[in-house]
């Protein structure tokens, strides 16, 4: 908080000491005592003004001020001036100033600080928020706030720009906002609209439940395209089952039913019992109703989920099953497509052993293990072959710790235990040395040690040690010794791959992190598998701690070093303006530059300029323009007609406004008001280029049914020649049929058959294609086509649900324990081997094609081919080495991408004037199959074509005797675009219970992507490990309790993206939330390294919000470790729970669980605290283009006021949390704790 100044002006009746009054007062003194200033017209605080600790300073403006009349009055024309900004004193306000550069006083007319003024009405409600000089051109951004007669924000207006304001309250802000948006071309890159507000209609009851929500946009308002809500009860009996799978029915009128109809008229229903548990979800698809049932036990634990395709809980290939022990710990689960996963816990409820179906098949006693230190931090993980059965292990873990000499943790001992990376291994059960178990340690984490003893102790390279000579000039030269609570280093092993001929120079990969005194990471040093060391050094800006420059140094033996220096420039609000790059001794150049409209939306990105000076008139190779509609949805990237000079790619997206598109390709009925894309038109520069695109049809579940192809700007030419049609699905979203055309020919006529006699399975059995194979076009245009190499054989899967045989390619696939492919085999002499480390990072690919060998190595962002540097990736593409005589020059290539991140054009940064240095062009069918690709001639013997194509993922197209895998590597699993399915079970399958675990992008590949093969990960706080147990059980339970409150339910839905789901609550979001559409994302995380080591951080949390890529990333950070000295609930949980586990002081299981519930409630209270007290103010203001900064102290003070937002909505949510968790705590005590803030929030 030391970088902020707050100036608060409220009109209150106070008793004042005698003081002098005059027209104008200028203050440049140091205030040491109690001082009261009154002036008739102005008070100016000039540089030199300073109030010391303990001083009491008051300033008042009163036209009638005199020594005899101490109580001030106000007029609408009176203002206070501090550093040049005018604030209206007829309004209550809070003025916040955050510095971006060091200053001893408030600078006037400078961009060295950011400023926000919040005005409040007479009831203490926010009435207007102004971001002073916050737009890119330095104008005010105004957020009007209005209320209906009942104090509700029924209308929520978009922020607008006031070019004549200087922080003053805008009396007619609503009309100015409307005029601003309805004027054409008023805001660059933004469609004008006469309805720049969202409207919510509430029911006429004290519950204030929402009946309908209209988003911004006149087309939605005039056509009444709202999201409608209907609250009823069940008028018929509802069938269900209990945890024993016995059928029963809920009586009429015994369930709460919420019916939601989106803007397209699609209906979903949620049924809740009297405990608030979602027991049924229904989705209406034309005449078909899809039902997902949720079955709980008497403790409210989810036991079974029956997805739409299943008839009952007896369909074991389709249902989800969960089993718990007496402490409510999940000890096993079964996901469709995979065998049972077993989990074992220790006395502290920490997950210590896990075993999936593949491990059990390999060896019934093989498990993944985790060992912890005294603070419950994981220090060792690996595999173990135990000498006891599963039940015996569980019993031993439950009993271990009864004896005081039995420790529950391992310790790092300096200078010892070199064979086990410095840690003991026999203190906690099971003893890795004494019990004669077979173990393999795969990962190690080191904490706290300011001396970094493990480097010397374990004989690691001296190049991992910190040395100021490694730090470039201008960087921090000293590492901090304050490393308590910080992970300072880690080791991860490269996993062995049997049969591979690849020999790694190093299989023990060590990473070490060094910090400055502020907790910023200033250097990361790591060993790589090629026997070298990589270092990344970072330089930060003062005050804001934004990264100003990075230097990456890559070294391996017997090869030239690679040094890449990147510089970053920001505007006065923290928006990234420019990235420069310098490689080795080559000249520095501009990699990219960004320009924003006055609302902070990215409107132009510039690519590659040789001019790295501060000149404002740089020449760039490419200019990429972005356009948006009134809701902030992307509508175009450049122009598909390529009307601008030198454009290489353009795209236009259509939603509700179909323009002049051909009616047979995009019928009027195809209009989409719920965010689905109705049509896309693209244009690519190059040989035989043609503007082309698709019109899309969806079913009522927003699944793609039809993609109609056309050419020309209106898609009126060569219609239907490349259609994708007749896409049908079963109830779980598994594709049943799909047709794909190429140049008017039926290329693929696919019919999918699934396992089991009734075909009720998520596992694919076979795909037939009567259309057969077609021949690729002449030339070097690659065309993918579904081909069936082994039609007589079916798809096969292992016990973890991974596809182990692919008949379309005749390939056998083997997987490692991370469910990542490690061997792809066509025959004994034709194989691909994939090498990973134990954290799942791909290290290498080694190919044996009948005696011809090829290797690819991945070292962070650098890729080697056959031992030589091939390229390194950048934010905009990659750099490739070009041989020039005896020297090597790094040549930069840039990727132009569409809205899904698909690479459409690759061009070189050295384009000649008037020419197009195009390297590659690509176009795609829906679901990612390549429709056409052109590769242009390139120089360099070691040049490798770009393979990062669909969604920007790497295509695995290596040829093995005429057969290639043609899967995309998404990191967590591989994807087959020919059939639109994953090769493995979704690691986050439980978040999408009404879809099969092999379904890609919820069957809407036009709108959604799967960035890492793990779907749309909702948030960190519900993260589970591989075995399905929460990694942070108390925090997860706290979040789920919060989510069940009215506050949590409302705001999670506002942030939600269409299709997202919280499976634990049976909640699926059928539409984009209003905040999501405005560009906001919410996530949860643990504390930063800086926060971990600060003594004032306490057990609470923090709120932060940053703009990344044009979207606001809001984050609630929660402390993941107990701080018993600063929080009663944490202390109670720690003491009673541990005493119960250790059998001390006769603490019962009931008392221990009660203490745990109090702690969980405390954590949920922290979530509510951060969201309501700190977050909502930033949410209201964030779309104004400013990087929000928390006003922690003022936020806390305001929350305690009589009619504060926290009292209105936050405190009732806290009460509800305690009710859900049954803490038995009195309301008075809950209220006391809610306002008893501990620690700080920064």
Nearest CA to 281 among 808, 925, 1068, 845? 1068
pLDDT for 1158 equals 86
Distance, in Å, from the CA atom of 170 to the CA atom of 114, rounded to the nearest integer, reads 20
Q: What is the 3-state secondary structure (H, E, C) of 486-519?
A: CEEEEEEEECCCCCCCCCCCCCEEEEEEEECCCC
Supply the pTM of this predicted model: 0.79
Q: What is the 3-state secondary structure (H, E, C) of 400-440?
A: CCCCCCCCCCCCECCCCCHHHCCECCCCCCCCCCCCCCEEE
The residue ranges of the chain whose pLDDT is under 50 are 1-21, 67-83, 777-782, 911-915, 1014-1019, 1026-1027, 1093-1099, 1109-1110, 1122-1126, 1138, 1140-1142, 1183-1187, 1238-1242
pLDDT for 551 equals 98
Beta-bridge mates of residue 1193: none
Place of tokens 């390939």: 811
Instruction: Label the pairing between strands 140-144 and 155-157.
Output: unpaired
Place of tokens 């609209």: 193
Distance, in Å, from the CA atom of 327 to the CA atom of 702, rounded to the nearest integer, reads 41
Specify the 3-state DSSP secondary structure of 392: helix
Place of tokens 């290498």: 844
pLDDT for 1046 equals 78
pLDDT for 1180 equals 63
Greatest Cα pair distance in the chain? 103
Chain segment 409-436, per-residue pLDDT in tens: 999 998 888 889 999 998 888 877 656 6
In 541-691 the beta strands, taken as DSSP E runs, fall at: 547-555, 562-570, 576-583, 589-596, 602-609, 622-628, 634-637, 649-654, 679-684
What is the chain's Cα-based Rg? Answer: 31
Backbone angles phi, psi at 1161, to 5 degrees: -60, -40
Place of tokens 């049914």: 705
Chain segment 50-74, per-residue pLDDT in tens: 676 556 677 777 666 554 333 333 3
660 burial level (CB within 10 Å; 0-12, 13-18, 19+): exposed
Distance, in Å, from the CA atom of 1018 to the CA atom of 333, rounded to the nearest integer, reads 21
C-beta neighbour count of 53 within 10 angstroms: 5
Nearest CA to 1102 among 1213, 1189, 1186? 1189
401 neighbors 408 (Cβ within 8 angstroms): yes
347 neighbors 353 (Cβ within 8 angstroms): no
């Amino acid at each position: 908080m030391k970088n902020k100044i707050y100036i608060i002006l409220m009109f209150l009746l106070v008793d004042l000491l005698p003081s002098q009054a005059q027209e104008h007062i200028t203050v440049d003194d140091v205030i040491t005592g109690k001082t009261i200033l009154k002036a008739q017209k102005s008070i100016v605080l000039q540089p030199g003004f300073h109030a010391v600790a303990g001083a009491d300073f008051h300033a008042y403006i009163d036209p009638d001020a005199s020594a005899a009349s101490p109580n001030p009055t106000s007029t609408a024309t009176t203002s206070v001036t501090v550093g040049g900004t005018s604030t209206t004193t007829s309004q209550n306000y809070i003025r916040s100033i955050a510095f971006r550069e060091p200053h001893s006083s408030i600078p006037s007319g400078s961009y060295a600080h950011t400023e926000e003024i919040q005005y409040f009405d007479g009831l203490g409600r926010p009435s207007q928020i102004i971001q002073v000089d916050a737009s890119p051109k330095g104008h005010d951004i105004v957020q009007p706030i209005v209320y209906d007669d009942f104090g509700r924000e029924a209308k929520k207006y978009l922020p607008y720009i006031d070019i004549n304001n200087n922080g003053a309250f805008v009396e007619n802000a609503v009309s100015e906002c409307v005029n601003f948006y309805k004027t054409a071309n008023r805001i660059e890159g933004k469609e004008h609209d006469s309805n720049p507000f969202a409207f919510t209609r509430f029911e006429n009851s004290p519950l204030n439940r929402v009946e309908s929500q209209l988003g911004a946009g006149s087309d939605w308002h005039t056509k009444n395209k709202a999201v409608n809500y209907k609250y009823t009860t069940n008028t018929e009996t509802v069938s269900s089952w209990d945890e024993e799978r016995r059928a029963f029915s809920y009586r009429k009128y015994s369930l709460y039913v919420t019916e939601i109809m989106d803007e397209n008229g699609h209906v979903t229903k949620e049924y809740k019992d009297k405990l608030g548990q979602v027991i049924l979800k229904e989705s209406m698809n034309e005449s078909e109703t899809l039902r997902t049932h949720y079955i709980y036990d008497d403790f409210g634990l989810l036991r079974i989920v029956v997805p739409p395709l299943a008839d009952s809980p007896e369909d074991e290939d389709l249902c989800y099953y969960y089993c718990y022990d007496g402490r409510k710990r999940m000890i096993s689960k079964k996901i469709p497509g995979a065998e049972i996963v077993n989990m074992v816990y220790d006395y502290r409820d920490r997950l210590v052993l896990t075993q999936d179906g593949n491990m059990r098949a390999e060896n019934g006693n093989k498990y993944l293990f985790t060992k912890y230190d005294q603070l419950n931090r994981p220090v060792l993980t690996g595999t173990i072959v135990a000498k006891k059965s599963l039940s015996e292990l569980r019993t031993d873990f439950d009993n271990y710790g009864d004896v005081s000499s039995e420790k529950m943790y391992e310790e790092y001992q300096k200078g010892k235990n070199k064979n086990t990376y410095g840690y003991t291994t026999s203190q906690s059960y099971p003893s890795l040395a004494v019990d004669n178990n077979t173990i393999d340690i795969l990962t190690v984490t080191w904490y706290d040690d300011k001396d970094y003893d493990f480097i010397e102790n374990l004989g690691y390279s001296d190049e991992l040690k910190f040395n100021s000579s490694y730090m470039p000039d201008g960087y921090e030269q000293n590492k901090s010794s304050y490393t308590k609570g910080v992970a300072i280093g880690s080791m991860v092993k490269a996993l062995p791959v049997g049969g591979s001929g690849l020999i790694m120079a190093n299989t023990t990969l060590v990473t070490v992190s060094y910090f400055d005194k502020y907790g910023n990471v200033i250097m990361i040093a790591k060993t790589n598998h090629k026997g070298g060391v990589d270092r990344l050094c970072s330089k930060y800006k003062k005050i804001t701690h934004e990264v100003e420059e990075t230097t990456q140094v890559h070294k391996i033996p017997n090869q030239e070093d690679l040094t890449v220096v990147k510089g970053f420039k920001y505007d006065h609000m923290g928006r990234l303006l420019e990235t420069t790059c310098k490689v080795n001794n080559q000249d520095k150049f501009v990699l990219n530059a960004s320009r924003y409209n006055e609302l902070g939306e990215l409107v132009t990105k510039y690519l590659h300029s040789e001019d790295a000076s501060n000149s404002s008139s740089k020449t760039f190779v490419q200019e990429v323009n972005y356009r948006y509609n009134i809701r902030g949805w992307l509508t175009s990237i450049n122009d598909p007609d390529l009307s601008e000079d030198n454009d290489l790619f353009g795209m236009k997206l259509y939603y509700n406004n179909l323009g002049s598109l051909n009616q047979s390709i995009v019928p009027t009925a195809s209009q989409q008001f719920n965010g689905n894309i109705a049509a896309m038109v693209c244009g690519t520069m190059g040989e035989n280029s043609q503007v082309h695109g698709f019109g899309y049809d969806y079913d009522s579940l927003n699944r793609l049914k039809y993609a109609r192809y056309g050419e020309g700007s209106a898609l009126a030419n060569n219609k239907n020649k490349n259609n994708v049609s007749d896409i049908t699905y079963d109830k779980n979203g598994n594709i049943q049929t799909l047709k794909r055309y190429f140049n008017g020919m039926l290329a693929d006529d696919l019919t999918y058959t699934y396992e089991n006699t009734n075909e009720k399975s998520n596992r694919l059995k076979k795909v037939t294609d009567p259309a057969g194979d077609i021949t690729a076009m002449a030339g070097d245009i690659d065309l993918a086509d579904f081909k069936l190499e082994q039609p007589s054989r079916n798809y096969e899967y292992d016990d973890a649900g991974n596809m182990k045989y692919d008949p379309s390619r005749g390939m056998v696939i083997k997987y490692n324990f991370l469910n990542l492919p490690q061997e792809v085999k066509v025959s004994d002499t034709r194989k691909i081997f994939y090498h990973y480390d134990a954290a799942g990072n791909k290290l290498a690919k080694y190919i044996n094609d009948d005696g011809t060998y090829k290797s690819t190595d991945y070292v962070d962002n650098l890729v080697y081919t056959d031992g030589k540097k091939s390229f390194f990736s950048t934010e905009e593409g990659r750099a490739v080495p070009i041989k020039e005589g005896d020297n090597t020059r790094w040549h930069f290539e840039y990727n132009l991408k569409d809205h899904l991140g698909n690479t459409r054009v690759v061009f070189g940064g050295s384009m000649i004037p008037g020419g197009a240095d195009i390297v590659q062009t690509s176009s795609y069918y829906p679901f990612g199959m390549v429709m056409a690709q052109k590769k242009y001639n390139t120089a360099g013997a070691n040049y490798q074509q770009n393979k990062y194509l669909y969604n920007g993922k790497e295509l695995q197209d290596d040829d093995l005797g005429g057969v290639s895998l043609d899967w995309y590597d998404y990191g967590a699993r591989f994807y087959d675009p020919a059939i639109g399915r994953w090769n493995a079970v979704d690691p986050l399958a439980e978040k999408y219970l009404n879809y099969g675990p092999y379904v890609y992008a919820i069957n809407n590949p036009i709108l959604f992507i799967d960035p890492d093969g793990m779907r749309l990960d909702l948030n960190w706080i519900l993260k589970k490990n591989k075995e399905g147990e929460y990694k942070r059980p108390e925090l997860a339970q706290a979040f789920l309790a919060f989510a069940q409150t009215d506050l949590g339910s409302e705001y999670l839905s506002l942030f939600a993206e269409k299709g997202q789901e919280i499976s634990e609550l049976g909640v699926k979001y059928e539409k984009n939330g209003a905040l999501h559409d405005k560009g906001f994302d919410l996530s949860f995380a643990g504390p930063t390294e800086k926060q971990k080591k600060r003594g004032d951080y306490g057990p609470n949390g923090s709120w932060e919000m940053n703009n990344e890529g044009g979207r606001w990333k809001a984050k609630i950070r929660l402390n993941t470790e107990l701080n018993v000295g600063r929080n009663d609930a944490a202390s109670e949980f720690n003491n009673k729970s541990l005493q119960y586990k250790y059998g001390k002081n006769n603490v019962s299981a009931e008392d221990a669980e009660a203490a745990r519930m109090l702690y969980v409630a405390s954590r949920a209270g922290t979530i509510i605290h951060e969201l309501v007290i700190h977050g909502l103010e930033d949410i209201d203001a964030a779309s104004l283009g400013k990087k929000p900064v928390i006003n922690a102290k003022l936020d806390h003070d305001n929350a305690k006021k009589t009619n504060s937002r926290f009292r209105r909505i936050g405190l009732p949510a806290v009460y509800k949390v305690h009710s859900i968790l049954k803490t038995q705590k009195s309301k008075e005590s809950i209220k006391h704790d809610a306002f008893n803030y501990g620690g700080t929030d920064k």
